[in-house]
Amino acid sequence: MAEPLLAIEGLEAGYGPAPVLFGVSLTLAPGEVVALLGRNGAGKSTLIKAAMGLLPPRAGRLRFAGQDISGEAPWRIARAGIGYVPEDRRVFPDLTVAENLAVGRRPPREGLPEWTDSRLFALFPPLAPLSRRRAGLLSGGEQQMLAIARTLAGNPRAVLLDEPAEGLAPVLLEPLAGAILEMAKAGVAVLLAEQNLDFAAAVADRAVLLARGAVAFDGPMARVMADASLRESVLGVSA
C-alpha cells in the first residue's frame, strides 16, 4: 500500500501535566474522509490540535506527505499542507467574505486542482451573493461555510474539521455533507471530529473511535452504524 498522507503513531499529548491522549495512532489517505468519534472529552479536539502542532507531542510521531512534522510549529504544518477549522470557526468579522478568502489564499499544490473563489462559491453556493458582506454579519451556518472555504483557499492536501455540523440548522447539514464529499472527490484528505453520527455516516468511509484518549476502534464507518453495542459502549449512544 502507498504511504498514507498523514500518519500519527503512538501520539501522547495533553495540557500541562495532565495527559489526555495515550498512544493514539491513525492514518489518513488522500481523498479519504475519516470520522473521529468519541464522547465529550474523549480527546478529539486534543488530537486535532496536536496534529496541527498547537500542542507539543510528548511521545509519538507525526508524518505528513513524507515529512516528519513531529514538534513542528503550527505555521510550518499549515505550510506543509494541513488545513484546520477549529470548533469556534473563527472568521475575521470586520473583513468581507471575499477578503476572508484572500487572507487564506496560498498557491495550489502539485497534483491537486486549485480552489479558486469561483470553485469555492460553487462548493458553498449561499456564500456567492455575500462576497462583499462583512463576515461578522453572516449567520452561524454561513460563517461555518466561510471558515471551511477560507481553509480550502489555502489549497491544503488535508483538512482537519472540528465538529463542523455542531449548532448548524438541520437544513444546512446536507449541503455541508455534500461539500465535504466534493472536497474528498477533489483529492483532499478529511479528518472530521464529530458527535453527530448520522452526519459522520453520510460522509465518512472509515471511523476512528476514541475513548478516554485511546483508540477503541478503527474500521469501516458502516461497521459502526451496524453495531449498536459498539456505539453503546464507546459512544454511549444506542440509537
Chain positions contacting ligand ATP, by CB under 6 A: 15, 20, 38, 40-46, 195
Q: Which residues pair with 208 in a beta bridge?
A: 36, 218
Closest CB to ligand ATP among 7 and 211? 211
Residue corresponding to grid cell 473563489: 117
Least separation in angstroms between residue 230's CB and ligand ATP is 17
Where does residue 1 rank: exposed (0-12), middle (13-18), buried (19+ CB within 10 A)?
A: exposed
Sign (positive or negative) of CA dihedral 176, 191, 80, 6: negative
Least separation in angstroms between residue 102's CB and ligand ATP is 30
**Residues 130, 171: Cα–Cα separation, whole Å:** 19
Contacted by 42, from ligand ATP, Mg ion, none: CB < 5 to 8 Å by type:
ligand ATP
Least separation in angstroms between residue 26's CB and Mg ion is 16
Least separation in angstroms between residue 144's CB and Mg ion is 15
Contacted by 195, from ligand ATP, Mg ion, none: CB < 5 to 8 Å by type:
ligand ATP
**Residues 142, 127: Cα–Cα separation, whole Å:** 7
Contacted by 15, from ligand ATP, Mg ion, none: CB < 5 to 8 Å by type:
ligand ATP
What is the DSSP secondary-structure string of 36-50?
Answer: EE-STTSSHHHHHHH
**Residues 4, 9: Cα–Cα separation, whole Å:** 12
Least separation in angstroms between residue 212's CB and ligand ATP is 9
Contacted by 46, from ligand ATP, Mg ion, none: CB < 5 to 8 Å by type:
ligand ATP
Which residue has the closest beta carbon to Mg ion? 45
* Contact set with Mg ion (CB under 5 A): 44-45
**Residues 161, 56: Cα–Cα separation, whole Å:** 19
Closest CB to ligand ATP among 46 and 70? 46
Q: Are 12 and 19 in contact (CB under 8 A)?
A: yes
